[in-house]
């Protein structure tokens, strides 16, 4: 069945983009989270795209049907039926987006039998339930251009049952096989973390993110739309907890009932992934090669205290052992990027204060690179910054003998690895 979306039609998302509504299935009341906070702390949920001006030229345009038909997992189909009073329509194009930033275009073809213009949205590597916000742009032979209002829809999955819950902070979709309290837990974690995000980033996300949560113990649904393989090897000490991309405006969460509590997932993985969405919105960071910085910062944005204490402990033990590598030698798939990266932000905000995160990210957002931003903020060379951090962490060999050049890595997703047990230092 569809998740109940009783309020969704009344809601518009960020310029037509991301995320809506009222709690439905989870049973948590929306008003419970409708806190009286200062204006700036109100999540952004409603930034309508301005209506087109000077629309349509000298022609009179009559739009009869504007429909998005999700054909998950094979994408979707946009259709429109439109009449023009003076000239033949020569081109039709859909402009659509899953988040406020990444617009995509699809050219339509005219189907003479039905009288509809039809355009396709590809579905490759696209999770169900992302927003599909779109408008049509039509041109006639006389050169008149007409643009429809933005329509807010979603890449719905009608093949199976999902649950859905929403608050001011987030919209949560989770597979029916997962615990029913998932929505409440995510909503609560996001609500509690709102002030932190605001302080750390200077503003809240300009849209309401979506959490799309899959059953990691039974990854069939996840693998239905994704080209990746999510099966965890038996005995593995890490597994994929979630990922996001710049395009989704949402993140994929992978929950393993066999391995973790709902609370740990909500306060750990979810808040970590939302941290990545803030990074994207902050600009300049998404394509950074400083994995320790990206993942460490996402961990710093999470809030599962025992996991974070453990991360710090692991980093300290690693430092004490003398085996702590230089930061820029820590790779993407290494759990170390999370633990040591988190420890770095712990050191940084202890030394310079909580407000330092925001100031540092504002420098990073200028695109000058992580190391340059740190140098500019601290007034030290990056070598000195790293040495002081290593010393704080307890490394006997705090001063590094040489600095390795930073590799350039382009990546698509940003996985979260959560250990199944405390790794041995």
Tell me which residues touch Zn ion (CB under 5 A).
295, 298, 414, 416
CA dist., res. 334 & res. 237, Å (int):
11
HSE of 208, CA atoms in CB hemisphere, 13 A: 26
Six token digits for residue 262: 């709902």
In terms of CB distance, is 268 or 284 closer to Zn ion? 268
Q: How far is the CB of 185 from Zn ion (least distance, A)?
A: 19
Q: How far is the CB of 39 from Zn ion (least distance, A)?
A: 31
In terms of CB distance, is 153 or 295 closer to Zn ion? 295
Strand pairing class (210-215; 250-255): parallel
Q: How far is the CB of 78 from Zn ion (least distance, A)?
A: 33
- Dihedral sign for Cα 130, 139, 10, 38, please: positive
Q: How far is the CB of 217 from Zn ion (least distance, A)?
A: 21
In terms of CB distance, is 152 or 414 closer to Zn ion? 414
Q: How far is the CB of 186 from Zn ion (least distance, A)?
A: 17
Q: How far is the CB of 112 from Zn ion (least distance, A)?
A: 49
In terms of CB distance, is 221 or 252 closer to Zn ion? 252
In terms of CB distance, is 106 or 298 closer to Zn ion? 298
- Closest by CA to 121, choosing from 70, 58, 195, is 70
In terms of CB distance, is 166 or 297 closer to Zn ion? 297
Place of tokens 């940003």: 414
Cβ–Cβ under 8 Å, residues 345 and 336: no
CA dist., res. 203 & res. 212, Å (int):
23
Q: How far is the CB of 272 from Zn ion (least distance, A)?
A: 6
Q: How far is the CB of 285 from Zn ion (least distance, A)?
A: 12
Radius of gyration (C-alpha) of the chain in whole angstroms? 24
Six token digits for residue 121: 């949205």
Q: How far is the CB of 271 from Zn ion (least distance, A)?
A: 11
Cβ–Cβ under 8 Å, residues 189 and 275: no
Cβ–Cβ under 8 Å, residues 290 and 297: no
In terms of CB distance, is 156 or 307 closer to Zn ion? 307
Six token digits for residue 329: 């030698």
Strand pairing class (116-121; 76-84): antiparallel
Q: How far is the CB of 414 from Zn ion (least distance, A)?
A: 4
In terms of CB distance, is 163 or 276 closer to Zn ion? 276
In terms of CB distance, is 76 or 241 closer to Zn ion? 241
What would you measure as the largest C-alpha separation in the chain, in angstroms?
A: 81
**Residue 151 φ then ψ, to 5°:** -115, 135
Cβ–Cβ under 8 Å, residues 242 and 204: no
Neighbour count for residue 79 (Cβ, 10 Å)? 18
CA dist., res. 262 & res. 256, Å (int):
9
In terms of CB distance, is 175 or 297 closer to Zn ion? 297
Q: How far is CA 263 from CA 6, 35, 208, 280, 312, in A?
A: 27, 22, 21, 25, 20
In terms of CB distance, is 21 or 275 closer to Zn ion? 275
Q: How far is the CB of 179 from Zn ion (least distance, A)?
A: 23
End-to-end CA distance of the chain: 47
Residue 119 DSSP label: E
């Amino acid at each position: 069945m569809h998740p109940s979306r009783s309020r969704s039609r009344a809601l518009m998302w960020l310029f037509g983009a991301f995320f809506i509504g009222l709690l439905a299935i989870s049973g948590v009341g929306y008003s419970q989270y409708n806190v009286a906070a200062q204006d700036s702390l109100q999540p952004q949920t409603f930034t309508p795209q301005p209506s087109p001006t000077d629309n349509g030229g000298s022609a009179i345009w009559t739009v009869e049907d504007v429909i998005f038909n999700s054909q998950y997992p094979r994408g979707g189909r946009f259709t429109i039926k439109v009449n023009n009073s003076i000239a033949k329509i020569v081109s039709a194009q859909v402009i659509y987006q899953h988040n406020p930033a990444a617009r995509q275009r699809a050219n339509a073809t005219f189907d003479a039998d039905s009288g509809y213009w039809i355009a396709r949205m590809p579905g490759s590597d696209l999770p169900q339930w992302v927003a599909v916000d779109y408008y049509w742009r039509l041109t006639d032979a006389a050169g008149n251009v007409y643009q429809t209002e933005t329509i807010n829809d979603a890449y719905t999955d009608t093949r199976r049952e999902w649950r859905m819950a929403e608050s001011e902070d987030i919209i949560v979709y989770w597979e029916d096989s997962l615990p029913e309290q998932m929505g409440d837990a995510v909503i609560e974690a996001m609500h509690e973390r709102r002030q932190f995000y605001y302080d750390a980033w200077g503003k809240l996300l300009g849209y309401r993110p979506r959490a799309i949560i899959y059953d990691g113990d039974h990854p069939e649904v996840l693998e239905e739309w994704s080209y990746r393989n999510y099966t965890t090897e038996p005995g593995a000490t890490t597994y994929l907890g979630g990922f996001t991309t710049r395009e989704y405006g949402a993140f994929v969460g992978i929950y393993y009932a066999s391995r973790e509590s709902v609370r740990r997932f909500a306060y750990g993985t979810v808040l970590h992934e939302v941290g990545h969405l803030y990074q994207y919105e902050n600009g300049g960071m998404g394509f950074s090669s400083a994995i320790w910085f990206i993942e460490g910062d996402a961990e710093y944005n999470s809030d599962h205290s025992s996991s974070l204490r453990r991360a710090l402990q692991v980093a300290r033990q690693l430092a004490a052992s003398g085996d702590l590598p230089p930061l820029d030698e820590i790779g993407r798939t290494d759990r170390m990027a999370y633990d040591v990266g988190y420890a770095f932000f712990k050191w940084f905000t202890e030394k310079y204060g909580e407000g330092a995160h925001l100031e540092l990210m504002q420098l990073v957002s200028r695109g000058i690179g992580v190391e340059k931003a740190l140098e500019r903020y601290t007034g030290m060379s990056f070598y000195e910054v790293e040495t002081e951090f290593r010393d704080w962490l307890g490394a006997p060999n705090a001063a590094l003998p040489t600095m390795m050049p930073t590799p350039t890595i382009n990546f698509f997703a940003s996985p979260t690895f959560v250990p199944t047990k405390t790794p041995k230092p």
